[in-house]
Chains A and B, each alone.
Chain A
Amino acid sequence: MMVIAIVAAIGWTLFSASWPSIRAFGLSFIYQTRWDPVFENFGALPFIYGTLLTSFVALLIAVPVGLGTAIYLAEYAPGWMRKSVSLLVDLLAAIPSVIYGLWGVFVLVPLMRNHVQPFLSKTLGFLPLFQGPAYGVGFLSAGIILAIMIVPFIVSVSREVILAVPPVFKEAAYAVGTTRWEAMRSVILSYGKAGIIGGIILALGRAIGETMAVTMIIGNNVTMSASLFSPGYTLASVIANEFAEAATDLYLSALIEMGLILFIVSIVVNIAARVLIWSVTSKSKIMAVRA
């Protein structure tokens, strides 16, 4: 019971604390681009944009890599390798986010500034995505660090889902002469699709709410630039940076409203993800009983 009460209490507290801001700005809060603490004019769009953009970049990188790793671990890797790689991936999930941030500041950002970004702007600079000065900090770096942080979730959920596919299906595919990859693609991936998508959504939830590492390397600048090199801001990182120094009630309330947005989005995302994952794993249980 306590658990439900706590979630409800969090929701209620956030809602009532952000009421002044909700009343003052209404729906315009989520499409206004101005963020002006001095004149108490608050719109969250740049932060929502930053959150979505970094999460999208993260998924773009993490989904193929994570899925590939999961398939490898579940289907191809020899036993000792499966064990040790899984252990290492779990280790990756256990690293506190502030340490990712530290690594990002001193290792990833210089690497991006001196090598990756100049290279990208030289080869793909005709795209607006890769234009502008190479600061090192910015959307792209934040997206990459998020990708590293969410990969373990994608790997562990998809591996579980792939392992939950009843082996008869795979055997049937081999029996009609498919190669291993064809069996993977046509049977296992389609069977486990819902679960894998669930895992990806779960990872998306993590990426949206991730605070410290992103705050440390996104550059903290209220902009909505199309360029991935540009420094930006996310919902979580603006809360982290400005909360303790929010001088007026309305300012504070606006920041809390962003927390409320994060809260609602994370709940919706998590529910969707769990339902999808559930649908696959329980389906396989029914299959197992029938077999």
Chain B
Amino acid sequence: MMAHGLTADGTAKAHLLEAFWKSRRRRAVADRFVVYSLVACAGLVLVPLFSILVHLLSQGAGAINWDFLTHLPKSVGEKGGGMANAILGTLVLLGIASGVGIPIGLGTGIYLSEYADRRFAQSIRFVSDVMNGIPSIVYGIFAYAVLVLPMKRFSAASGGIALGIMMIPIVTRTTEDFLRMVPSALREAALALGAPKWKMTLDVVLGSAKGGIVTGVMVALARVAGETAPLLFTAFGNRYWSFRLDQPIAALPLQIFAYAISPFEDWHRQAWAGALVLIAIVFVVNAVSNYFVSKQSTLYAKKR
């Protein structure tokens, strides 16, 4: 540039202009190129999702029938049979998990939003976020060390409790978020009427955040329903019906895992079918909770 500038004013200007347009074109091309590659990234992310869904539907739908949903697994080599006990087992485990996770999570959430001072609440929130990131298999080891070892047997209770502990941070977080969305005018109105704080919290705050709290619980349930790792050495799996909490119990994810790594063609089909049932449960719960979330937030948006 400098050299040109020294020769003659006109040519220098022309050169500068040319250089400007050139760099401008280059930058515009780079800009286009970036857009295309970003679109490609977004597409690439979705490819596995579609592949998984297509395979689930094509492989799983054919294997789901009445027998699959209502019968016990057949012994090795025999065709047919189903996962009824595993479906029931998953429900039992979720029941136990709810018994552990919901009261503690709910209590912590209410405490954080209504009672705790800001600093303390923040540190608890931090811990529960970190807890959310602890690998699920670690919860399994914990339940094993605390429950399975002393009892000397695998049990539904230990599996359910492992799942329940995993639910706590999720329930806590959503409960707190939704309670904070309740307008403080409502709280003040209740207090102005002479309601004690606990009554205000229970009736007014919880009452108006009900939908959101249900959502939080369901999100947590959906998340732990598919967990396999914490169940491997707690609930352990079972090929028969089991209703006792101190005995090993079957679970859908465990059954899918066992069947997927087995060498039998028929079991593979059943693994796909089980996966389809599992994902149906998870997606339905997610969809319902999304609905609640949007309803709840529009409700408050209107009120304000």
Contact = CB atoms under 8 A, between A and B. Distances in A.
Contact of B45 (A66, A107, A244): A66
Interface string B272-304: 100100110011001000000000000000000
A71 B260 contact: no
Contacts of B31: 179-182
Interface string B241-285: 000000000000100110011000000100110010011001100
Contact of B236 (A6, A68, A244): A244
Contacts of A99: 52, 56, 226, 256, 275, 278-279
Contact of B283 (A4, A89, A91): A91
A280 to B, nearest CB: 16
Contacts of A73: 42
Contact of A65 (B41, B56, B275, B278): B41
A68 B41 contact: yes
B133 A266 contact: yes
A91 B290 CA distance: 12
A94 B169 CA distance: 17
A9 to B, nearest CB: 8
Given A10-B138, A263-B138, A102 B45 contact: no
Interface in B116-152: 124, 126-131, 133-139, 141-142, 144-146
Contacts of B168: 2-3, 6
Interface residues of A, number: 75
Interface residues of B, dominant DSSP: helix
Contact of B138 (A92, A101, A266, A270): A266
A243 interface: yes
B135 A94 contact: no
A96 B260 CA distance: 14
Contacts of B165: 6
A24 interface: no
A274 B126 contact: yes
Interface stretch (B190-198, B202-210, B227-235): B227-235
B257 A3 contact: no
B138 A14 contact: yes
Contact of A3 (B55, B128, B261): B128
Given A101-B257, A148-B48, A76 B135 contact: no
B81 interface: no
A13 B275 CA distance: 33
> Which 5 residue pairs of A and B lie closest in terms of their CB atoms, listed nearest first?
A96-B226, A209-B135, A68-B41, A72-B38, A270-B133
11 contacts: A66-B41, A71-B38, A72-B41, A97-B227, A97-B228, A99-B52, A99-B256, A155-B45, A209-B137, A216-B260, A266-B134
